[in-house]
Amino acid sequence: MNYRVVFNVLGSLLCFLGPLMLIPLVVAMYYGESPYPFAVSFAVTTIVGSLLSFRFVSTGEDEWEKREGFAIVAFGWFAAALFGSIPYMFDGVTPLNALFESMSGFTTTGATIFVDIESHSRSLLFWRSMTQWIGGMGIIMLFIAILPKLGVAGRQMFRAEAPGPKEDQIKPRIRETAKILWAVYVSISVLELILLLAAGMSFYDASTHTFTTMACGGFSTYADSVAAFNSPLIEGIITLFMFIAGANFALHYKTLYSDKKSLIKDNEFKFYFVIVAIATILLTGILLRDTYDTIPTAFRYAVFQVLSILTTTGYATADFNLWSDSGKVILLAIMFIGGCAGSTAGGIKVVRVLILLKYARRELFKAIHPKAIRPVKFNGKSVPGDIMHAIISFVVIYLLIFLLSSTILTILGMDLTSSITASIATLGNIGPGFNLVGPMANFSTVPAIGKLVLIANMWVGRLEVFTVIVMLTPEFWKR
Amino acid sequence: MNYRVVFNVLGSLLCFLGPLMLIPLVVAMYYGESPYPFAVSFAVTTIVGSLLSFRFVSTGEDEWEKREGFAIVAFGWFAAALFGSIPYMFDGVTPLNALFESMSGFTTTGATIFVDIESHSRSLLFWRSMTQWIGGMGIIMLFIAILPKLGVAGRQMFRAEAPGPKEDQIKPRIRETAKILWAVYVSISVLELILLLAAGMSFYDASTHTFTTMACGGFSTYADSVAAFNSPLIEGIITLFMFIAGANFALHYKTLYSDKKSLIKDNEFKFYFVIVAIATILLTGILLRDTYDTIPTAFRYAVFQVLSILTTTGYATADFNLWSDSGKVILLAIMFIGGCAGSTAGGIKVVRVLILLKYARRELFKAIHPKAIRPVKFNGKSVPGDIMHAIISFVVIYLLIFLLSSTILTILGMDLTSSITASIATLGNIGPGFNLVGPMANFSTVPAIGKLVLIANMWVGRLEVFTVIVMLTPEFWKR
Ligand SMILES: [K+]
Ligand SMILES: [K+]
């Protein structure tokens, strides 16, 4: 392990994060709140980052190998969450809760330990939303530019005819790709911001909710989440942008700048759309039977909640914890799917679910025609064996972590439904679950050890599991 | 599809089943109950079986191909459940409930729609227990002798250095293997019967509970299940025999007649033991904290329930539905594992879980060393790719059916916990779940459509999924 490279990059990352804290500092001054917390956070983060960068100077000849890549990604996210938690502590949040909230931000999970959201300062809530937007950008880069290089996400599969030049070296490629994706992400965000402003939201509300929509984050500045606005128009805009944020950003780029049909030709996007359609129809029917009186009302709440959960955003326009179990099971099922690869969404991802289904279908065929050769196809190409293996082992390990986490939470005394949904809601970076951790409740009642488990879930889930889990193997630290 | 062969074998099967109904007829006469139901059932089953056999005479030259094999297994089990349900209808049970109870018997599930078990005639309860013992024998044969021939279970993997001669033709091999396994099954059953009698049970109780222990069936002649005896000795004997019945019968044969170390050398058996040990220790700790006062009491209920659920027997010595969620989650987790391949247990099976875990571990290793070659090993041999594929697609399809079933049940209005556990309890052939379908409750409150779904679950789960599911593919019926 080349520690110099790792610490050098971590230092650079903090030097990038620190100055971003000046934005909530400006917000604080605008609203007449104390700028002190963000000034201190800015100083601490930037100084530590600079010290790290200077202490571990990169010679410019260092090569990133796989292990260094894994360590940078995993500890990079952790460092961001750690230093990003400083402002919370100035607002009287305990260190554990601050780390929880900050990790929930940077991983775009949106699970909160805030009991009374509106009691916190506007600048802190702005920072909280902003961390999700930063995390969301990081995720897109991670998935499209970095992980394929580390062999995690399966480059060929996940549309890594990604935008940008195609050098062999990692660094220039990441830099170019990052620029392009940043531009796409910013452009779509600006579009949402304008639409939300036009729909009558204040600049503060519009910007914070743009941050958390585009990142599939789900933090709201209101305890009632998007229900606070009680506006079908705003819900419609947010629904649309959740749908966009849950799809592949590399495809958004291609759709905008080269092939207009990039999205609708893509197998993953088509399946994503089918899931949204089926879940919405089912849920509308169930809500019409059990909860609401008219089709438009049932549809309004159904489509919003389906997209919020499937894209792992986690907003709520209704307390779905009070819906019938029929409705809840639809939400629970799509919690295990998540959005598209290369989006800001979390979860197992649509492409993995789709390929796994095609794989199972192929095996059924082979049960009758054992000698027939019928490859699993995705976007017209055969899925290679190593990609198949990567997908399957991902799902297995994902479900094992889910089981382990659920078990620990119940052993700590939480009820089964809360334990299970808290686990999947953090591992899938969704945010709210059912019962104790429902959309109108919060994670403050989870025991301390449980919070640590959930922090780990968010971190592991956001980094596509392998990035963190490989560090648990002895092989990682060898030599 | 060669229908003649299929109907001919189904006919023979009914001709075998019919006369078995004379045994509960004798029981009826002994207890002074009406022998009429069993006389009629015997007559109907045997006559239909004979007509089928005569109408579709086998020329002796017919070859079983895969599709015929699948059809015989799937419809054979269904026919047994269908004709075996006749006696229930004489006792005032509705046809749907009778089919449910009979399918629950022949698939050794043990889920019951009986509201007041003791109100039914002793001969009917005897038949109910007996169907599980018949089903259990069928399962061992199916798994060790038939499925590997159909390419389902992965012969090389599942110890199909099975006893018996090794011809290439299916029929003689099945016949020889069947005889040997029958002898092992009967011998161990007799041993349990003797021990239960020695522990003070009546012949009626001892025989019915031997039937349902050895089959991992779980039907009891008492509403309180094994708790009715309130005897640590009886519980100990049953615990031991559940452990035996949940292990591979081909290995029991080898242990008895050739290599004494066959069981303890086997990777699957070792892992089975490890799961039992870990789950028992955890559950004992949890029960000690939440439910019982002393270690022996906690251990007594923990070890019994862990084995009852893991081996998918489904007996209860306590209403585990009243335990804390910490305890329930342990039971829920092992519901998804099940017993060993080649046993009478249902579920995903220990060997599949073990190989899947080894596979995930290997992929983690490969994430760091992508060029390293490290095969997944089982019992010292590399697991071939096609076996790996079969295992993975089994688990995927199994979980999909579980999800589909849970979703349907909740849509029908059942609560989430009942829906989920009713689904896994029938698909895994376990019997009781939690809440509405808890160990001291029954399945009578499930809506009619839900009962049909659960009947399908039992059938699909018992026949290793593929055997039934391939019939849903258009390829199955082609040509
Ligand atoms: K989220
Ligand atoms: K059972």
**For A93-140, what is each residue's pLDDT tens digit?**
999 999 999 999 999 999 999 999 999 999 999 999 999 999 999 888
Q: What was the pLDDT predicted at A63?
A: 60
Side-chain half-sphere of B277: how many Cα atoms within 13 Å?
Answer: 6
Most confident option among A159-163, A360-364, B168-172, B352-356 = B352-356
**If pLDDT is split at 50, 70 and 90, which confidence band does B167 have?**
very low
User: Cβ(A312)–Cβ(A430) under 8 Å?
Assistant: yes
Helix (H, G, I), strand (E, B) or coil at B2: coil
Residue A157: pLDDT over 50: no
Structure tokens, A43? 């100083």
Q: What was the pLDDT predicted at A144?
A: 73
The two beta strands, B381-382 and B377-378, are antiparallel
- What does the pLDDT average to over A84-91? 95
Task: Measure B214 CA to ligand 2 centroid, in angstroms.
Answer: 10
| Of the candidate ranges A279-293, A386-400, B443-457, the one whose mean pLDDT is the lowest | A386-400
Of the candidates B152, B397, B419, the beta carbon closest to that of A329 is on: B419
Neighboring chain A residues of B67 at a CB cutoff of 8 Å: 368
For residue B442, the distance in angstroms to the closest alpha carbon of chain A comes to 20
In the numeric block, the tokens 């829920």 are attached to B332
**If pLDDT is split at 50, 70 and 90, which confidence band does B181 have?**
confident
Chain mean pLDDT for chain B? 88
Structure tokens, B216? 């991992």
Q: What was the pLDDT predicted at B62?
A: 57
Q: What was the pLDDT predicted at B63?
A: 60
Q: What was the pLDDT predicted at B172?
A: 58
Phi-psi region of A431 (alpha: psi -120 to 50; beta: other; left: phi over 0): left
Spatial distance between the Cα atoms of A189 and A192, rounded to a whole number of angstroms: 5
Nearest to B456, CA basis, from B400, B403, B401: B401
- What does the pLDDT average to over B151-159? 48
Nearest Cα residue in chain B from A285? B411
For residue A5, the distance in angstroms to the closest alpha carbon of chain B comes to 18
Spatial distance between the Cα atoms of A64 and B8, rounded to a whole number of angstroms: 68
- What does the pLDDT average to over A284-288? 95
Q: What is the pLDDT of residues A239-270, one digit of tens each?
A: 999 999 999 998 898 888 888 888 889 999 99
Q: What was the pLDDT predicted at A168?
A: 42
Residue B161: pLDDT over 70: no
C-alpha torsion angle, residues B119, B124, B128, B129 (rounded to 10): 90
User: Cβ(B213)–Cβ(B192) under 8 Å?
Assistant: yes
| Of the candidate ranges B129-133, B137-141, B356-360, the one whose mean pLDDT is the lowest | B137-141
CB within 8 Å: B368 and A67: yes
For residue B105, the distance in angstroms to the closest alpha carbon of chain A comes to 28
In the numeric block, the tokens 């199916």 are attached to B142
**If pLDDT is split at 50, 70 and 90, which confidence band does B288 have?**
very high
Residue B258: pLDDT over 90: no
Burial A67-82 (b: 16+ CB within 10 A, else e): bbbbbbbbbbbbbbbb
Structure tokens, B400? 């999909």
Residue A158: pLDDT over 60: no
Q: What was the pLDDT predicted at A29?
A: 95
| Of the candidate ranges A245-249, B83-87, B159-163, B363-367, the one whose mean pLDDT is the lowest | B159-163
Residue B162: pLDDT over 60: no
Neighboring chain B residues of A389 at a CB cutoff of 8 Å: 363, 366
* B241 Cβ neighbours under 8 A, 6+ residues apart: B188, B192, B210, B213, B214
- What does the pLDDT average to over B434-458? 94
* End-to-end Cα distance, chain A: 7
Spatial distance between the Cα atoms of B39 and B21, rounded to a whole number of angstroms: 8
- What does the pLDDT average to over A382-411? 88
- What does the pLDDT average to over B1-27? 90
Spatial distance between the Cα atoms of A186 and B150, rounded to a whole number of angstroms: 56
Q: What was the pLDDT predicted at A169?
A: 42
User: Cβ(B422)–Cβ(B437) under 8 Å?
Assistant: yes
In terms of Cβ atoms closer than 10 Å to its own Cβ (0-12, 13-18, 19+), residue A452 is middle
Residue B389: pLDDT over 80: yes
Complex ipTM tops 0.85:
no
Beta bridge partners of A378: A381
Task: Measure B455 CA to ligand 2 centroid, in angstroms.
Answer: 14
Nearest Cα residue in chain A from B395? A360
Percent of chain B at pLDDT exceeding 90: 65
For residue B390, the distance in angstroms to the closest alpha carbon of chain A comes to 7
Q: What was the pLDDT predicted at A61?
A: 57
User: Cβ(B249)–Cβ(B243) under 8 Å?
Assistant: no
Higher pLDDT, A478 or A179: A179
Task: Measure B139 CA to ligand 2 centroid, in angstroms.
Answer: 12
Chain mean pLDDT for chain A? 88
User: Cβ(A477)–Cβ(A1) under 8 Å?
Assistant: yes
Nearest Cα residue in chain B from A434? B416
- What does the pLDDT average to over A343-356? 93
Spatial distance between the Cα atoms of B387 and B400, rounded to a whole number of angstroms: 20
Neighboring chain B residues of A70 at a CB cutoff of 8 Å: 368
Residue A60: pLDDT over 70: no
For residue A207, the distance in angstroms to the closest alpha carbon of chain B comes to 38
Q: What is the pLDDT of residues B305-322, one digit of tens each?
A: 999 999 999 999 999 999
**If pLDDT is split at 50, 70 and 90, which confidence band does B180 have?**
confident
CB within 8 Å: A359 and B396: yes
Residue A8: pLDDT over 50: yes
- What does the pLDDT average to over A64-68? 73
- What single DSSP character describes residue A472? G
Residue A110: nearest ligand to its CA?
1
- What does the pLDDT average to over B152-168? 43
- The sign one gets for the Cα dihedral A156, A361, B344, B375 is negative
Nearest Cα residue in chain B from A398? B360
Residue B241: pLDDT over 60: yes
| Of the candidate ranges A151-165, A306-320, B14-28, B79-93, the one whose mean pLDDT is the lowest | A151-165
Spatial distance between the Cα atoms of A141 and A269, rounded to a whole number of angstroms: 19
Neighboring chain B residues of A359 at a CB cutoff of 8 Å: 392-393, 396
Most confident option among A51-55, A83-87, A326-330 = A83-87
Nearest to A292, CA basis, from A261, A269, A316, A318: A318
Q: What was the pLDDT predicted at A368?
A: 73
Structure tokens, A466? 């392998």
Nearest to B280, CA basis, from B308, B318, B312: B308
Q: What was the pLDDT predicted at B187?
A: 94
Long-range contacts of B204-211 (CB under 8 A, 24+ apart): B204/B27, B204/B122, B204/B126, B205/B229, B207/B126, B207/B129, B208/B125, B208/B126, B208/B129, B208/B130, B209/B129, B209/B238, B210/B133, B210/B241, B211/B129, B211/B130, B211/B132, B211/B133
Residue A160: pLDDT over 50: no
- What does the pLDDT average to over B435-445? 92
Q: What was the pLDDT predicted at B141?
A: 80
Q: What was the pLDDT predicted at A170?
A: 45
Query: If you count residue pairs, one on A and one on B, with CB atoms under 8 Å apart, how many are there?
Result: 134
- What does the pLDDT average to over B92-97? 94
* A61 Cβ neighbours under 8 A, 6+ residues apart: none
DSSP string, B357-404: HHHHHHHHHHHH-TT-----EETTEEPPHHHHHHHHHHHHHHHHHHHH
Structure tokens, B354? 């073990």
Q: What was the pLDDT predicted at B57?
A: 78
User: Cβ(A185)–Cβ(A140) under 8 Å?
Assistant: yes
Of the candidates B152, B286, B366, the beta carbon closest to that of A411 is on: B286
